[in-house]
Structure formats: structure tokens, C-alpha cells
Amino acid sequence: MKPTVAFQGVQGAYSEQAIRQHFGDSVEVYPCPTLSDLFNAILSNQIVTHAILPVENALAGAVSQAYELLMDSDLRIQAEVILHVHHSLLAPRGVKLQDLRRVRSHPQALAQCERYLKRHNIEAVPAYDTAGSARELATNPEPHTGAIASRLAGDLYNLDILATDIEDVPFNFTRFFVLAHDDPAPGEYNKTSLVFATRNRPAALYECLGEFAERGINLTKIESRPRRNRPWEPVFYLDFEGHWQDPICQEVLARLLIRASFVKLLGSYPAVKSTSVGI
């Protein structure tokens, strides 16, 4: 059965690009207006088999809502996808770079291309998202107006690609989780993601993390977030190298269950080695 993958945004979004990077170009995609709609689609729509969720960007940091939705859901992480984000300057057919006076895009994309826009004396106009800006430009072209989005969006909406890789900082990667209902088979290199809360006493976090250190398990991420139903009591999102089925990982999880007040496993999944993406 061919997978159908839900994503947040309109077609041509960077999330769709990540889907195609992972599943191939023949994959079916299912656009969703919001991240909440994305979770609803895979939980209630029989057509959707997977979802792709942006969880952090190397420049902008974590996507807070994504982690909150993950904690509230029983979906399992299937894989990690690292997308190298490249912004393209798009315009209606026949429009030249020197004709542009303004471009529309998501504020984050505009900020990431600030020096390029200043160099060409182009005004940045914030819009809801990148691919949506490209679609709107194709549907309702305006004089002297372009958009910043992916090359995929330019191709989908039949826009001219005036320039590529216009981002000021080349170190722009977004990390995604592929989600589904079941657990994936272990890969050659695996990570495990979980969320936990500590007991309210001195050294509680130190003791929890010490269980990993004592066993030589490498942590690749730890981040605290507010616990919505308990003010001033944070939860910690943690990634570590290894699969929960590995004996040493089972051992550390058992110890964490004893030390922490709350633990939820989000999944063990095939992951991307950082050296392979230049980070």
C-alpha cells in the first residue's frame, strides 16, 4: 500500500519536500492547515497512513507546539528526517529580478534572507507561510512582487525561479519526525525520544541524567518545556542514541522509571548521523 503522508501547510511547503526526501516522489501527500489538524488527520482519517512533523530548526530552535502534541498523542516516531532548507526567489513568468520591489513569505524565511533582500533593495512583506505565498502569487500576480519559498513550490505553481540558495546562513537544517501508529523496525543507527518529569527535590534532574552517563549512553538532545497542567513544574524532552530494545537501554529506562515522576516513550527509530548532513 502506497503511503499517504499528512503535513502542515499547502503543497510546496518544506514539509512536503521532507516527505519526498524520505518516501520518494511517488508518495501521496495530504495538506493540513495546522499541526493540530495534522494529528487529527492521521488519528481519524483512514486515507492517511503517516504524518511528518517539524520539531526543530538549527537556526530558530524547537517547535513548541509539536512537542506538546506529541506528548498528548499515542502516535509513534517512525524515523528522523533532516532537511537542508534552501530558499528560492520566485516570480510570475517573465518577471526579472530587477523588476522586483517586494517579496512575500513567512517572517522566518524573510529574516533568513535579509542580507540578500537588502542587497537587491527588495522590501520584505510578511505572510502566513512560504508555499502559501507562492500559491497566492501564482493565483493573483501583482506588479513588482515575488515570493520566497522552496524550488518545489516554484515548480508546482509554475513560477519562474529567479535565484536559488538565497539564504544568508547556509547552516539551515530542519529536523522532522515521521509519525505512524506502530513501532518501526530498528535501523543501523537508532535514537530514542522520550519525555519525563522529575520529582520536586534537590538533584532530581542530575540523578535522572546520571543513569545515562553511568552507562555511557550519549544524549543528543535535552530541552525543558512548561508542564501545562502543573505550573512551574517542567517536563524534559530527551533524545539518546540507541533503541529501547537494546539491553543497556532497557536498563536505563527501568532506572529512569524509578527516579522520575513521569516517563513517556515517544519512540525508537532509525535516525540520521549528524556527520552525514554536515552538522
Q: How far apart (Å, rounded) are the C-alpha atoms in residues 240 and 47?
A: 33
Q: State the cell numbers at 22.
A: 524520505
CA 133 from centre of chain: 20
Whether 276 has a pLDDT exceeding 70, the answer reads: no
Helix/strand/coil percent split, the chain, to 5: 30, 35, 35
| Exposure letters 36-55 (e unless 16+ CB within 10 A, then b) | eebbebbeeeeebbbbbbbb
Q: State the cell numbers at 31.
A: 495538506
Q: State the cell numbers at 94.
A: 517573465
- For 275, list phi and psi in degrees, rounded to 5: -65, -25
Pairing of strands 173-180, 76-84: antiparallel
Residue-level pLDDT at 275: 53
- Alpha helices for 114-227 (secondary structure H): 114-119, 130-139, 151-156, 204-214
Among 20, 10, 29, which Cα is nearest to 136's?
Answer: 10
Residue-level pLDDT at 45: 77
- Strands, E assignment, 95-218: 102-105, 123-126, 145-149, 160-164, 173-180, 190-198
Half-sphere exposure of 46 (CA within 13 A, CB side): 0
Residue-level pLDDT at 215: 97
> How many other C-beta atoms are found inside a 10 Å radius of the C-beta of residue 186?
15
Going 171 to 79 to 129 to 236, the CA torsion angle's sign is negative
Whether 277 has a pLDDT exceeding 50, the answer reads: no
pTM of this prediction?
A: 0.92
Summarize the confidence of residues 87-107 as an average pLDDT.
96
Q: How far apart (Å, rounded) are the C-alpha atoms in residues 195 and 265?
A: 7
Summarize the confidence of residues 242-270 as an average pLDDT.
96
Residue-level pLDDT at 88: 98
* pLDDT, tens digit, 9 for 90 and up, residues 33-52: 999 999 999 998 789 999 99
Percent of the chain whose predicted confidence (pLDDT) is above 70: 97
DSSP structure class, residue 63:
-
* pLDDT, tens digit, 9 for 90 and up, residues 188-228: 999 999 999 998 889 999 999 999 999 999 999 999 988 77
Choice among 37-41, 232-236, 244-248, 274-278 with the minimum mean pLDDT? 274-278
Active site residues: 174, 176
Domains of the chain: 4-85+172-180 (3.40.190.10), 88-164 (3.40.190.10), 190-277 (3.30.70.260)
Whether 278 has a pLDDT exceeding 50, the answer reads: no
pLDDT band, residue 127 (cuts 50/70/90): very high
Residue-level pLDDT at 173: 95
Whether 168 has a pLDDT exceeding 60, the answer reads: yes
Which of the two residues, 1 and 243, has the higher pLDDT score? 243
Among 269, 242, 264, which Cα is nearest to 67's?
Answer: 264
Residue-level pLDDT at 226: 82
